[in-house]
Amino acid sequence: MALNIAYFSWVRERMGVADEMVDLPADVGDLGALIAWLAVRDERGALAFAEPHRIRAAIDGNMSGRGAPLAGVREVALFPPVTGG
């Protein structure tokens, strides 16, 4: 399954790209599995996703939890927690 992944803030800096199109392995079926796969895929991912609990995500523009399925999804955005004042 082809999926566009967009990276923001320090996740983007550590990944070295703003976004990428990836072909997911068959066993990557939900958001948690995607983050785990990205963490072991290469050194950039290991650095960006060393603390997966800090990563927030939006699936096709909607905030989503780790168990959210990826079937039929077009884009996943990954970013650190957002704070504001």
The 10s digit of each residue's pLDDT in 31-83 is 999 999 999 999 999 999 999 999 999 999 999 999 999 999 999 999 998 76
Q: Please count the structural domains in the chain.
A: 1
69 φ/ψ angles, rounded to the nearest 5 degrees: -70, 155
Query: Is residue 25 a part of any domain in this protein?
Result: yes
Tell whether the model's pLDDT for residue 5 goes beyond 90.
yes
Expressed as residue numbers, the domain containing 59 is 2-79
CA distance 68 to 85: 29
Query: Is residue 58 a part of any domain in this protein?
Result: yes
Query: Is residue 33 a part of any domain in this protein?
Result: yes
Query: Is residue 85 a part of any domain in this protein?
Result: no
Neighbours of 34 (CB within 10 A): 25
Query: Is residue 60 a part of any domain in this protein?
Result: yes
Domain harbouring 42, CATH code: 3.10.20.30
Query: Is residue 6 a part of any domain in this protein?
Result: yes
Both ends of the chain: CA-CA distance in Å? 39
Q: Global pTM?
A: 0.94
Query: Is residue 84 a part of any domain in this protein?
Result: no
